[in-house]
Structure 1
Amino acid sequence: MNNFFKIGERGSTVGTEVRAGITTFLAMAYIIAVNPALLSAAGIPVGAAVTSTCFAAGIMTILMGLFANRPLACASGMGINAVVAFSLTAAAGGDWMVAMAVIFLEGLIILALVLCGLREAIMEAVPVSLRHAIAVGLGIFIALLGLINGGIVVNDDSTLITFGSVYNPVFLVGIISVVVTFALYVFKIKGYILWGIIIAAVAGVPLGVTPMPTGIVQLPDFTTFMAPFQTAADGSGMAIVKVFVNPTLLVFVFSIMLSDFFDTMGTAVAVGKQGDFLDEDGNVEDIRKILIVDSLAASVGGLFGASSCTTFVESASGAADGGRTGLTSVVTGVIFLLAAFFSPLVSMIAAPATCGALVMVGFLMMNVVSDIDFSNPLDGIPAFMTIIGIPLTYSIATGIGLGFITYTLMAVCTGNASKVKPLTWLVDIAFLISFLIA
């Protein structure tokens, strides 16, 4: 095991990897409840959505660990699952199986782009300043997700967001999670992120935030599996065939593909920063293997009826907790598979308990901001647009797109157009198209 995962070579231990795997799972566990709740709006049975969510995440996370040997976990991506539930299914005439066929196809297209080297080439075409900016923007985004989970940042009709109520039990659990996690970090307690989640979850019991389980075992429901190849709701043939005869659905294939394409780039940089697998130029080591699994995961998510499965930014919590190898991912994946049978117990880890873990990861990712030269407009302005674009648009892909386009504009304005690589121009065009058709 040590030789296969290179545990000692990367300065880790089996115990650390196991703990990091548990930490990553707990930081992601909310997806087991949230994804089925969203997909049920598309008409997918909740029990079947729980099964597909757990199995897609478990299988692809284990594959990520075995094939890429990096501490990255996969699960149904937030944002795309909402698109599937509220937009894509409607465009497919209310047929969620056709919607899953769109997801299946966009995953195959991304996989083809990886195998031909295009996706990796585009990542390498990203300027160094933007790579650093993506990490910083992701850090703020991750922290924002945590603060929202903890009820510390809430919606407001007048100001869009505002400070939550200190009398709200969710807020109290979120604050406990943050304070405990940071305190344990200061005192250098091993596994401080995991302990922060556990202590906050326990504190949430008397406050009514941590739900008591309604049972222990829930048998899997596999009715959504092979959704793209099931007969469409109108009985006209296989669901996947209907995608090719509907121009609107083909547009969805392109737009979702672009989101998947760049979300993973940002996530890989973020986790690579915490997991110590970025080189001095900000390139992600073993990126090709990571992208192959991630692209396949998107397709498998559609095949299983779980929406697009993607590399989760919450993986950074496990990397921050010491995870350095694929063993972390294998542990996370195995727990996801077990969760398909014990989902009532998993639901006890409420989102507010993970607030501190995500805020801590955001803090840890801030140190790279000093590597950005803000005195140089060509580096500083695109970096700034990326940093604010990711959290303020609530979209990794959109933030990256704003950074790409701004970089090209600044290069032209500063007389450095020759520095813009041909692939960067192509990415700019793709983003402009996606913004216009969104």
Structure 2
Amino acid sequence: MKNFFQFAERNTNYKQETLAGITTFLSMAYILVVNPLILGQAGMDKGAVFTATALSAIIGSLLIGLLANFPIGIAPSMGLNSFFTFTVSIGMGVKWEVALTGVFIAGVLFVILSLLKIREKIINVIPQDLKHAIAAGIGFFVAFIGLKNAGIIVGSEATFVSIGNLTSGPVLLALFGFIVSVIMMVRGISGGIFYGMVIATIVGIFTGLIEKPTAIVGSVPDISPTFGVVFNHLGDIFSPDVLAVIFTFLFVAFFDTAGALIAVASQAGLMKDNKIPNAGRALLADAGSAVAGAVLGTSTTASFVESSAGIAVGGRTGFTSVIIAACFGVAMLFSPILSVITPEVTAPALIIVGALMATEISKINWNNLAVIIPSFVTIIMMPLTFSVATGIALGFILYPLMMLGMGKLREVHPIMYVLGFLFVGYFIYV
């Protein structure tokens, strides 16, 4: 197994990979609770969605771990489940069964694009500076999510965002977890982020900030209300609204995943010659999990940027993803315990990981204005728009324009010009 996952080449071991897998799972586990709540508002059975969420995470994480040897967790995307419910089902009035069929079709198209290596080709032609900007931008985005989940940053009508109540119990718990994790990390303790989460959870339970689980073992909800529903509605997708939905699922998931892969590969030191090794297999695994998730009964799956939490602990191979899948399998049986994994507990990990990922900003060529503008826009717009895909899109529009303005037309790959035009059309349409 060590040879299969290339432990020696990537300087890792079973303990390091296992801790990384558990850490990533704890950072992702909220999806088991949140996804059923969001999709339930579209009329879907919450119990069935819970089981579909866990199974799709198991399938996706195993696929990317075994096929591509990547330390990444895959599960239903938070942004796309909200789009599914609030924009498509509620806003456009599309029945959830038809919307889910749209997710399935988008997933099939993903598989085709991956097999033809079109997705891999697009990722490989992205300029190195933009790849660093994407990784750094996701770092700021992840940290912003952590600050928001901790209650350190809150919404404000006057200033858009503002400082939260730093004396409230949940915020103090998050700050405590942050300090413990940082101290462990600066002292060179392997797995400091993971141990910080565990200690914060224990303190939260003893202080009453986190409720004790009412049970240890729970039954696995029936998946039959959502399983295979997509096959009964394939004839309902040929309408302008649903076709537009399919395109949007395709667009957002494509670049969310591309951004996550670039960021994770950069953080783990896997990027070689501006290319991601086994990128084709990673993208195929991601596409395959999207198809499986739709059949099971959940919105589009994607590579989770929270995977960077496990990489910060030392995850370097697909064995980390195998552990993530195993944790989701256990979680199906011990679902009541998930209540102790609160946003305040996982927030410190996201803030720390965001800081680590943001170091990619130092690798950008800040002496070239044609690079500075698109890189800065890519970075800043990810947290401000709460969308990785939007930040990438804006950067991809500006980069060819900047290079064109400097008379460096031939230094930009033609695919970048095509993407720039497509993104302009996307923003006009949306």
Query: Normalised by the size of structure 1, how large is the TM-score?
Result: 0.95
CA distance in 2 between partners of 1:421 and 1:9 (Å):
32
CA distance in 1 between partners of 2:208 and 2:299 (Å):
31
One of 324, 328, 336 as aligned partner of 1:332: 324
Counterpart residue number, 1:234: none
Moved more, 210-219 or 268-277: 210-219
Where does 1:70-89 land on structure 2 (aligned, <5 Å)?
A: 70-89=70-89
Counterpart residue number, 2:339: 347
Counterpart residue number, 1:360: 352
Q: Are residue 218 (structure 1) and residue 219 (structure 2) matched?
A: yes
SS at the partner of 2:155?
strand
Cα offset for 1:278? 1.3
Aligned residues: 428
Where does 1:60-99 land on structure 2 (aligned, <5 Å)?
A: 60-90=60-90, 93-99=93-99
CA contact (8 A) 1:302 1:308 kept: yes
Cα offset for 1:261? 0.6
CA contact (8 A) 2:20 2:320 kept: yes
CA distance in 2 between partners of 1:221 and 1:10 (Å):
41
Cα offset for 1:280? 4.8
CA contact (8 A) 2:124 2:276 kept: no
Cα offset for 1:94? 4.8
Counterpart residue number, 2:251: 258
CA distance in 2 between partners of 1:147 and 1:280 (Å):
34
Where does 1:8-407 land on structure 2 (aligned, <5 Å)?
A: 8-90=8-90, 93-216=93-216, 217-223=218-224, 224-229=226-231, 238-244=232-238, 246-281=239-274, 283-407=275-399
SS at the partner of 1:7?
coil
SS at the partner of 2:161?
strand
CA distance in 2 between partners of 1:103 and 1:21 (Å):
28
Cα offset for 1:218? 2.4
CA distance in 2 between partners of 1:161 and 1:304 (Å):
38
CA distance in 2 between partners of 1:331 and 1:270 (Å):
21
SS at the partner of 1:154?
strand
Cα offset for 1:203? 2.1
SS at the partner of 1:340?
helix
Alignment RMSD? 1.4
CA distance in 2 between partners of 1:186 and 1:267 (Å):
26
CA contact (8 A) 2:30 2:341 kept: yes
Cα offset for 1:395? 0.5
CA contact (8 A) 2:149 2:344 kept: yes
CA distance in 1 between partners of 2:171 and 2:91 (Å):
38
Amino acid of the structure 2 residue aligned with 1:286: N
Moved more, 366-375 or 20-29: 366-375
Gaps of 5+ in 2: none
Cα offset for 1:207? 4.4
Cα offset for 1:296? 1.4
Cα offset for 1:418? 2.3
SS at the partner of 1:155?
strand
CA contact (8 A) 1:374 1:381 kept: no
Which digits, 9 at most, give the CA deviation of each residue in 1:198-240, with x for residues without a partner? 11212222444423223231223212111202xxxxxxxx222
Which digits, 9 at most, give the CA deviation of each residue in 1:244-267, with x for residues without a partner? 2x1101011111111111111110
Counterpart residue number, 2:404: 412
CA contact (8 A) 1:169 1:207 kept: no
Cα offset for 1:93? 3.9
Amino acid of the structure 1 residue aligned with 2:277: E
Cα offset for 1:274? 2.4
CA distance in 2 between partners of 1:81 and 1:208 (Å):
32
Counterpart residue number, 1:233: none
CA distance in 2 between partners of 1:109 and 1:151 (Å):
39
CA contact (8 A) 1:147 1:174 kept: no
CA distance in 1 between partners of 2:227 and 2:8 (Å):
39
CA contact (8 A) 1:91 1:249 kept: no
Amino acid of the structure 2 residue aligned with 1:221: D
Gaps of 5+ in 1: 230-237
SS at the partner of 2:180?
helix
Moved more, 27-36 or 365-374: 365-374
Cα offset for 1:39? 0.7
CA contact (8 A) 1:184 1:192 kept: yes
Amino acid of the structure 2 residue aligned with 1:268: L
SS at the partner of 2:311?
helix
Query: Normalised by the size of structure 2, how large is the TM-score?
Result: 0.96
CA contact (8 A) 1:92 1:98 kept: no
CA contact (8 A) 1:123 1:265 kept: yes
**Residues 247, 208 of structure 1: alpha-carbon distance in 2 compared, 3 angstrom cutoff:** farther
Cα offset for 1:295? 1.2
Cα offset for 1:133? 0.4
